[in-house]
Amino acid sequence: MIDWLAANSTLVNILLNGAMTLIWLIYLHLLLSSTRRSRRTNIFVNRSADRGDKAECVVTNMGAEPIYLIDVIAELIIDGKNYSTVVTDREELDVDDVTNMLERSNQVALDRGESRAIGNFRNLVWRAIKHLDLRDCEDRITDLRLIVVVAGHENRIAAAEKEYYVVSQGDGGHSYVPQGLMTRQLHSARTRRRIQKLMEENLRLESEEARRQAGQTRLAA
């Protein structure tokens, strides 16, 4: 055996060096994968304080890095059809009732482990119904999907979603029952593109509305 190793020392060295290189490459891959996982956004959406209309929807940053909450999207399921809109701003709060205009928005930075109450479920649904002009359809909502969109350390959006059954109560109110325990993290590029397209469409509509109102103001003057 010793004679064979001596006679084939060059081949043995090549094999040993190759094995060491492979081990280091595997170690580097594991290290990079662990780093990426630790820096990946992890958003938790939960119902708090109640089960009905007054239950608060709370968003928590469970990741290791700070995030910035950009938008909240509500998707209503009515008669099997999906209706989506942005419900970030707390429009139920009157301008005269707040001391700081930032109180009317949920666009805020969240540090690691920090939470933000984005409004109760009644108000979230009210915002969506108002934007979508579906005031006569409230009692036909069967499901509510909430999508929280954030920006992290990377130059792209990240998102997570939580789905709820909407159950009508005898007193005219509703209960919002989570369809799962955990919040689904939306990491696929295709899903992010769909969400970004919806957000850009909302900005386009907002711009058109601003121009329309400006035109009406000029005509009135």
Q: What is the pLDDT along the chain (221 residues), one digit of tens a residue?
A: 666 556 666 765 777 777 777 777 777 777 666 656 556 789 999 998 778 888 999 999 998 889 999 999 999 999 999 999 999 988 777 766 667 677 778 888 999 999 999 989 999 999 999 989 888 888 889 999 999 999 987 778 899 999 999 998 877 788 999 999 899 999 888 998 899 888 888 888 778 777 877 776 666 66
> Which neighbouring-strand residues pair with 154?
none
Whether 147 contacts 139, CB under 8 Å: no
User: Could you tell me the two tokens for 123?
Assistant: 């108000």
The half-sphere exposure of 214 on its side-chain side, counting CA atoms within 13 A, is: 6
Question: Rg of the chain over CA atoms, in angstroms?
Answer: 26
> Which neighbouring-strand residues pair with 174?
168
Task: State the pLDDT at residue 128.
Answer: 93
CA distances from 65 to 37, 41, 108, 112, 139 (A): 11, 7, 14, 6, 40
CA distance 122 to 47: 12
Task: State the pLDDT at residue 111.
Answer: 93
Nearest alpha-carbon partner for 59 in 127, 106, 103: 106
**First and final CA of the chain: distance in angstroms?**
101
Task: State the pLDDT at residue 11.
Answer: 65
CA distance 151 to 154: 7
Q: Where are the beta strands (DSSP E) in 24-173?
A: 43-48, 56-61, 67-78, 81-86, 109-110, 115-120, 141-151, 157-168
Task: State the pLDDT at residue 143.
Answer: 95
Task: State the pLDDT at residue 178.
Answer: 94
Nearest alpha-carbon partner for 57 in 108, 118, 143: 118
Whether 105 contacts 88, CB under 8 Å: yes
